[in-house]
Amino acid sequence: MNAFLKKNLGERPFSYQAITSDASFRQYYRVRSESKNFILMDSPADLIDNQPFVGLQHNFEQAGLLVPEILAIDLETGFLLLNDLGTEHLADRLQLASRLDDYKSVLDLLPTIAAIPNSKWMKPYDAEFICLEINIFKEWLIEAWLGKSFSEQQSQCWKMLENKLATLMLEQPQVTMHRDFHSRNIMKTTKGWALIDFQDAVSGPVSYDAVSLLRDCYFSLPKAEFSQLLQYNYLTMSKKGLLDDMSLQEYRYYFDLTGLQRHLKAAGIFCRLLLRDNKSGYLNNILPTLEYVRMVGQQYEEFQWLATWLDNEIIPAIQLKLEQFS
């Protein structure tokens, strides 16, 4: 690390301090020199393919979106030197009076993201992959963490859920999506809103990024604000011709069930981070995330079994597990 920094910062004296790691194997450092600060991304090349980050950074930047600038890179070691976008995320502004306006201005970015041309760095987002993501919940939360298994009837219901969600997600208009468009991955800078953690962008369902933001695993919007912002998002996307003339009611249906897929996946990932990566910092996000699943399950008859199962069996078991960490 020191050799990489010395090579790219020259004779300037510098220091660095770990600032955060994300839900992957990456680690970030703020590098301070006399004249300016930088961000060092340590993304181990033996664990992570960093070329999608580099390629998609270019795609997003070419679209006019504000993303970290890559100042230097060593693909063999996985070190990337980035410009410093500051310290203020949307997540840091959620208690401000400007919250509604902040959300609207962030939602205004979605048509630009959606219009990014498909890229070779975007992995296929097909039915097989959608179902693979759904089953992170089954494999890591239900089986590995809670030690439970599906009954034959539950297995049949689960297969129906997989097929239904995959079909609904793929029949929506397919656009470029950030795929992790939430309050911790959006930064407020002097030049406007900046996006980070975009390296998993794909072409997928048009409602996905709005779900990630408006039903954030880390923050729950008040109902009135959610409704206002969902309508704003619908009108914004519709005016840009991205919704194929669907009604608000149709969009809400796609939005809700796309969220069902995302939140099942996310709850499973939080458990995988604990069990595989020894990261317990996401445990308190499991129940709020499953509350979205329970809420949507209650609203749609074909998924009421899921809400009932969560209420009667899974959420109480999770609450007992969480007591061990309190």
Cα gap 226→228, rounded to integer Å: 5
Beta strands in the chain (DSSP E): 14-21, 27-33, 37-42, 70-74, 79-83, 174-177, 186-189, 192-195, 202-205
The predicted pLDDT at position 159 comes to: 98
Task: Check if CATH label 2.60.40.10 holds for domain 90-323.
Answer: no
Please, are residues 162 and 134 in contact by the beta-carbon 8 Å criterion? yes
Buried/exposed code over 289-319 (b: 16+ C-beta within 10 A; e: otherwise):
bbebbbebbeeeeebebbbebbeeebbebbe
- Written as six digits, the tokens of 179 are 């795929």
- Token code pair at residue 157: 């219901």
- Domain assignments of the chain as residue spans, ordered by start: 2-83, 90-323
CATH topology for the 2-83 domain: Phosphorylase Kinase; domain 1 (3.30.200)
In terms of DSSP bridges, do strands 70-74 and 37-42 run parallel, antiparallel, or are they unpaired?
unpaired
SS (H, E, C) 47-88: CCCCHHHHHHHHHHHHCCCECCCEEEEECCCCEEEEECCCCC
Question: Measuring CA to CA, how many Å separate 291 from each of 191, 263, 285, 296, 304?
Answer: 36, 9, 10, 9, 13
Q: What's the CA gap between 189 and 10, in Å, rounded?
A: 27
Compute and round to an integer the Cα radius of gyration of the chain.
Answer: 20
Per residue of the chain (326 residues), what is the pLDDT tens digit?
A: 888 988 888 878 889 999 876 667 889 999 998 888 999 999 999 999 999 999 999 999 999 999 999 999 999 999 999 999 999 999 999 999 999 999 999 999 999 999 999 999 999 999 999 999 999 999 999 999 999 999 999 999 999 999 999 999 999 999 999 999 999 999 999 999 999 999 999 999 999 999 999 999 999 999 999 999 999 999 999 999 999 999 999 999 999 999 999 999 999 999 999 999 999 999 999 999 999 999 999 999 999 999 999 999 999 999 999 998 87
The residue type of 182 is H
Tell me 302's DSSP state. Answer: G
